[in-house]
Structure 1
């Protein structure tokens, strides 16, 4: 079978390796024929050698959809012919976070495509406890995007009850877009998404986020006032990874409110801990997702509450993996989600 391996930064090697056999499956394992793979921002960092937790060489692919080929004897979640996706988290199950059900922050966490081999190959074996079965009418492309949708699902849970609140999402890339869509779906009164890119803000509007603000053209405070008036906002999500962004959110959010940090910062921001304390702000982190977030993501996409088609910028064949990364590099201003077709 084919396999795409990132052997070092900017060097993907295509290999022919032996395919896993159905007869070798353990009782709780599932053999998949991979159909679609999404490329995410973290993998772009890995491709350029800028991801500190990537081990080379490593098989690409942690956002994917596929068809079940065979199952182990104890598998009940799916059957041959089902279309599925699966979480890429490998956890120990023994550490304190795992024991309390917070395996997304496992002390020994390994993520496929970074610290363990991913799914960029024709056939792939997955444990059944990580499988999410997709509706029969869900496009394969959407199945490969359940992973980033689940990030939005989990992040908005970390923001607390959003019903009736005004919410700001800073950063309108793919994840920011999905966080904003989830905030709206979870009952926020109004959602405002900000960015410095008119293209990304237009994509947000196409996905149903009516309130957008280009902070490169309109000052943050002025733009927020024009949308929320004297009501202000009571929850925020930092998805830009920029110091000025999180500082503006802290400065302007209603006292006693919650800010969730979703982005990865290249450089740690300088924040006023005095201001944080004086305003009793809650600054929450968020890490990936849990299985219930995957299931919520499937339901929300299936119901039409989360819109994905506007986010797909281009599709490439498996043999064009390198070309896909080059396309991203050359079209960063207008590129959202790239899909690899096997």
Structure 2
């Protein structure tokens, strides 16, 4: 997927290195919001310049593919035309799947080229650090380039100048955006128009990784010296209660510890708190960077061995080995007065620092139980 994951999606995936690089199953691909907006703009330009909406309308993607899109809606008036395409995300569980992506095209002043506007349901950028400057519609650079190319092609066919205002809108986009990371990233009022290839690759999780990266970019641009990467809402609430960090200091890491740490290795922030549940961080402590259950199960024997290292009695270790869940092992350790969660936190911190590979990032690990109580800490570890 090239589109909305943590930003506008909620999928599992990646191939064991925690950076979303796995190729996953052979599922049906879909089209990004950027590709759909381009198709809508191309059709609207056809009507504006020649009076007819091409349907289906063909566009050229960055990789050279030329898909055709059926129009779901058209409208025109004096000096303007508009068209809409229904987003098909393929087999990817994208929140924008089925949304109507519209483009309204009108003539601009001579030599202005393509002027972009945010219509209803498309957000505006309010924080630095994103690919689009503050004050601009949240239409990313590749979709802008695709739309400019489509406008130029339509204008050339009609013998017109490619000077137009393109207003992109998404039906119900403001409501959909509340299910994404856009508000946290400072994109307000709606969705982003995204896509680097025009194609949604289902379950690749590239978009989740991309949203983590944009979160780091925003935090760096804001001059923050402390961010927290959390595995979910429960751990995020725990770290906010502990530190009172602002929303744009919170990275929705999910299962992608590897993707988060590798990006911070190249784009460091002075202090990083990793906060997550005991089971997931038990995997990180073992050196796993993809924390999803499909990539690796909780190793109860490994946890029992750590208890033995902490001085657990043999019958306590045996009880831990026979447990059904990591939570049960944690309960056994706590009843025995063993700081197992602290040990997991310390080992997870070691994995994180090894992955950061000397980058100037101090790391702290906080381990939570299922109720969100912090039960294990590592302290701060320097690179």
Same fold (TM over 0.5): no
Larger strand proportion, structure 1 or 2?
1
TM-score (norm 2): 0.29
> For the pair shown, which has the larger CA radius of gyration, 1 or 2?
2
User: What TM-score do the two structures reach when normalised by structure 1?
Assistant: 0.32
